[in-house]
Structure 1
Amino acid sequence: MFAALAKKNYTLLWLGQVVSMIGDWFLVVALPFYIYQLTGSVLQTGIMYIVELLPRVLLGPVVGVFLDRWDKRKIMMITDLLRAVILLLMLLVRSADFVWIIYVVTILQAVMAQLFVPASMALIPMLVEKEQLIGANALSSFSESVTRLIGPPLGGAMLALLGLSGVVIADSVTYLFSACCIMLMAVQSTSKGQEAVVASGNALKRLWSELLEGLVAIKQSKVVVGIFVIMGIMMVGQGLMNVMLVPFIEQMLHADAMAFSWLLTAQGAGTLLGALLVSTLTKKVKPVILVSLGLISTGCTMLLLAFFPNLWLALGAIAIIGVLLAGCMVSIQTLLQISVDERYRGRVFSSFETIISLTMLVGLLASSGIGDRVGPAPLIAANGALAVIAALVSLWLLRSARFSEEATLSGAERVPVVE
């Protein structure tokens, strides 16, 4: 797993992401509680999640076309710099009357993320050797788990001690650090000089043509289609859960923001262990088993907590979810990377983000609309049921998937790794 760190460019990307993810976890804990305490409304809290998804839903496939045209490293560096500046607008929020500023910043941050995340996922196979790809993805999962352990408790404590302003400034600094790391990377651009096409009279026609090429690339891979369907089902449930998480903690667990941070930390601890094991497991266990185990454990845990809400039970169960979900998500990311030719990765990963966002939006809208009336328990149970359904679907759609490049769409030569 740690062999990928021998690659200088990957190490710089990894280091920047570790630091910025810690800052992101500060806000993940702080913002929902801040808005809920400021407004006392599930709907207002839900709006934050909804507006975050809108740019990803509306811009996803089109953004992918430009990601495949442009230098991914430059895109990532510029978006990190913009995120650092945009985030500071939240310092203007002083009362419920200014909560709209949080929504505006959330939208702008989501636009930047829609550029950064697919670019990062598409870039990783260019930074490591093919035999290191699973290990690199496992290391990313491991690192995210470490930041989940560190970030939430710090975020909860920072919100209590310094308020939202302290959290915002800290997160902004982490984006600047990430931008500096990316700036130091020396990655040869894989764009084909297609920028000139944009300036031509046929720009719209070419944009549409490239968009269709990306959709065809998705359709031609049974593995990619299967992953899109499975994640779509799962994300509807995740949308239901996101809005109701704070009410679940306050109304059913009778806890506060620190409990929220400890739940995230428990999941991080589990994912940390899972990430350490996943490189070994992928050599012995089929992807379909790793994916289905992660999904069914998530579903059963959510069903258990919906009917038997208990903080200690939640901490233990969510830690177990983290172990199995690490294998699930590393498997999904690796399968996507090896099943798509480098020329189409920007479009495929952007479409993947769009599917995730669109289906999560369905859950968020449903939860925001009825959450105040039905309460958290039924919606958390629905989340669990959908995860179980996704697990059953994965057993069918991913039954032939393997961790090898035989699934690659075009069979084109792999882009050389840049040290």
Structure 2
Amino acid sequence: METIPSLKTSTEARAAYMDTEVIPQKPVPLWRNHDYLLLWLGQAVSSLGTRFTQFAFPLLIVGLTHSIAAAGLAYSLQQLPYVLLSLPAGVLVDRWPRKRLMLLCSFCLMGTVASIPLVLFLASDQLRLPLLYTIAVGLGVISVFYELAELAALAWVVPKNHLTTAIAQNEFVYGSSALLGPALGSLLFSIARLLPFVTDALSYLILLCSLLSIRSPMQDERRAERRHMLVEVREGLSWLWSQQVTRSVVLIASYLSFTITASVLIVLAIVQQQHIPSVFYGLIVAAGGVGNLLGVVLCPPFRRRVRFGRALGCVLLVFVLLWPLYGFITTPLLLGAIFTGIAIADSIGAILMSSYRLAVVPDALQGRVGGVYRLILFSILTIGPAALGLSLEHLGILATVGIMWSGLILITGGLFVNRHMRQATLPYM
């Protein structure tokens, strides 16, 4: 297991830090953990509502502008805050009272989503699109803070030996929302184009009520001293850089997330090149959603039987074995099978790596380390798809698959060569 150094190197600083740390609560089963159940319930409802908005927002902009590019710009604007604000947001999440921040973010998300109908009813034609773009940026900014705080709160509310199960249950919620959201969102949009946004705003109201019902502060006691933000950012970066396994986990998780995005784009390129009906493309992507849910079910027993380092190695081997098949397979059924297998491995890997990261990071650094991770992840997801599209267009499918496969081989080989990674275990095992 990777050792976890304290925030400062001196013995006095280490003692001072340990004196302020609080053990959250006695381990209890998740189904009896009142605070976790409230957090999970609120997150489950709001995740489904968020899917409604994510589905309906581009349709709304296309309906107003008749431009796919305008809808794409709105999506990019919503992702931009993750790149620009992840580091400072991580510092502020570690500084501010976590529960109050989550309540404030939930209220702001509810108000921002609810403002979409107001814009359509009250704004002039010239102002509607700029205001909708402003709303997209606002949703991104608020989401950066909320997501960092929510993950840190989960790591505090849930005992370490239950983290993998809790994260698996969260992944089940996200996977189910990804499957149900577009179908239900399209139904609501067909009834009234503003109904998905109204429903999403109501889901945040439920989240607010669940957070208000949580009794604990969802964080350790904080030191009163405040330092320059750059000093605190550097503190989080230094801690992460000093942790070889955690650092590797962050980089692997980011690359695998990009690989899933690449998988969607490559399948789309194959469908277009082979003139496969678009309905099959939808079914292939839906099969990936089923694969994610299967991964959620398989992860807990797999984690109990296989040590973390070896389990992560197995996940990477699945990627290495299945990925090159994209260069040769063109039938929809086999493409769906490959996509499903990769989705299963991705889901298991995501749960394992998130569990490890949340378990080893000190509570006082959860926001900053999470901010570094999101900066790396969204930087890759911002630049990567554009580069991948250029590669598919100019080099072709086989060469693009080969480039991505080379990266998978590199990180997999690095894991098996690195003794610390091979022998890494979850801290509570």
Same fold (TM over 0.5): yes
TM-score by length of 1: 0.79
Structure 1 pair 271/367, CA: closer, same or farther in 2 (3 Å)?
A: closer
Per the TM alignment, residue 12 of structure 1 is displaced from its structure 2 partner at its CA by: 0.4
* Contact 2:110-2:200 within 8 A present in 1 as well: yes
The residue type equivalent to 1:154 in the other structure is: L
Per the TM alignment, residue 301 of structure 1 is displaced from its structure 2 partner at its CA by: 5.1
Matched, 1:183 2:227: no
Give 1:309-388 correspondences, 5 Å limit: 309-367=330-388, 370=390, 377=397, 381=401, 386-387=407-408
* Contact 2:258-2:380 within 8 A present in 1 as well: yes
Per the TM alignment, residue 390 of structure 1 is displaced from its structure 2 partner at its CA by: 4.2
The residue type equivalent to 1:206 in the other structure is: H
Question: How many matched pairs?
Answer: 394
The residue type equivalent to 1:218 in the other structure is: L
* Contact 2:315-2:349 within 8 A present in 1 as well: yes
Matched, 1:399 2:425: no
Specify the alignment match of 2:203 in structure 1. Answer: 174
Structure 1 pair 320/239, CA: closer, same or farther in 2 (3 Å)?
A: closer
The residue type equivalent to 1:141 in the other structure is: E
Per the TM alignment, residue 155 of structure 1 is displaced from its structure 2 partner at its CA by: 2.7
Which of the pair has more CA radius of gyration?
2
Specify the alignment match of 2:103 in structure 1. Answer: 77
Per the TM alignment, residue 320 of structure 1 is displaced from its structure 2 partner at its CA by: 2.6
Matched, 1:68 2:64: no
Percent of pairs identical after alignment? 20
Greater shift, 297-306 or 145-154, is seen at 297-306
> How far apart, in 1, do the equivalents of 2:212 and 2:150 lie?
14
> How far apart, in 1, do the equivalents of 2:209 and 2:391 lie?
42
Structure 1 pair 59/175, CA: closer, same or farther in 2 (3 Å)?
A: same
The residue type equivalent to 2:252 in the other structure is: I
The residue type equivalent to 1:211 in the other structure is: V
> How far apart, in 2, do the equivalents of 1:97 and 1:302 lie?
46
The residue type equivalent to 2:236 in the other structure is: G
The residue type equivalent to 2:77 in the other structure is: V
Specify the alignment match of 1:130 in structure 2. Answer: 160
> How far apart, in 2, do the equivalents of 1:330 and 1:74 lie?
27
Give 1:2-401 correspondences, 5 Å limit: 3-31=29-57, 44=70, 46-91=72-117, 92=119, 99-159=129-189, 161-162=190-191, 164-188=193-217, 190=219, 192=221, 197=225, 206-238=228-260, 240=262, 253-255=276-278, 260=282, 262-263=283-284, 265-298=286-319, 303-305=324-326, 307-367=328-388, 370=390, 377=397, 381=401, 386-387=407-408, 389-396=410-417, 398-401=421-424
Greater shift, 315-324 or 344-353, is seen at 315-324
> How far apart, in 1, do the equivalents of 2:126 and 2:220 lie?
46
Structure 1 pair 171/249, CA: closer, same or farther in 2 (3 Å)?
A: farther
* Contact 1:235-1:363 within 8 A present in 2 as well: no
What SS does the corresponding residue of 1:316 show, helix, strand or coil?
helix
Task: Could you tell me which runs of 5 or more consecutive residues in structure 1 were left unpaired when the two chains were aligned.
Answer: 199-204, 407-419
Structure 1 pair 217/295, CA: closer, same or farther in 2 (3 Å)?
A: same
Structure 1 pair 241/128, CA: closer, same or farther in 2 (3 Å)?
A: same
Greater shift, 375-384 or 337-346, is seen at 375-384
Structure 1 pair 293/189, CA: closer, same or farther in 2 (3 Å)?
A: closer
Per the TM alignment, residue 179 of structure 1 is displaced from its structure 2 partner at its CA by: 1.8
Per the TM alignment, residue 254 of structure 1 is displaced from its structure 2 partner at its CA by: 2.8
The residue type equivalent to 1:319 in the other structure is: T
Per the TM alignment, residue 298 of structure 1 is displaced from its structure 2 partner at its CA by: 4.8
* Contact 2:222-2:364 within 8 A present in 1 as well: no
What SS does the corresponding residue of 1:55 show, helix, strand or coil?
helix
Greater shift, 172-181 or 290-299, is seen at 290-299
Report Cα offsets for 1:73-114 as digits up to 9, x if no partner.
221121122112212344446999955544332221111111
RMSD across aligned positions (CA): 3.7
The residue type equivalent to 2:149 in the other structure is: A
Structure 1 pair 10/141, CA: closer, same or farther in 2 (3 Å)?
A: same
* Contact 1:152-1:265 within 8 A present in 2 as well: no
* Contact 2:153-2:218 within 8 A present in 1 as well: no
Report Cα offsets for 1:171-218 as digits up to 9, x if no partner.
222222112211111113646555x656xxxxxx53222222111111
Task: Could you tell me which runs of 5 or more consecutive residues in structure 2 were left unpaired when the two chains were aligned.
Answer: 1-27
Structure 1 pair 287/171, CA: closer, same or farther in 2 (3 Å)?
A: same
The residue type equivalent to 1:144 in the other structure is: Y
The residue type equivalent to 1:208 in the other structure is: L
* Contact 1:9-1:185 within 8 A present in 2 as well: yes
Per the TM alignment, residue 376 of structure 1 is displaced from its structure 2 partner at its CA by: 8.9
TM-score by length of 2: 0.78
Specify the alignment match of 2:23 in structure 1. Answer: none
Greater shift, 144-153 or 112-121, is seen at 144-153
Per the TM alignment, residue 121 of structure 1 is displaced from its structure 2 partner at its CA by: 1.4
Specify the alignment match of 1:417 in structure 2. Answer: none
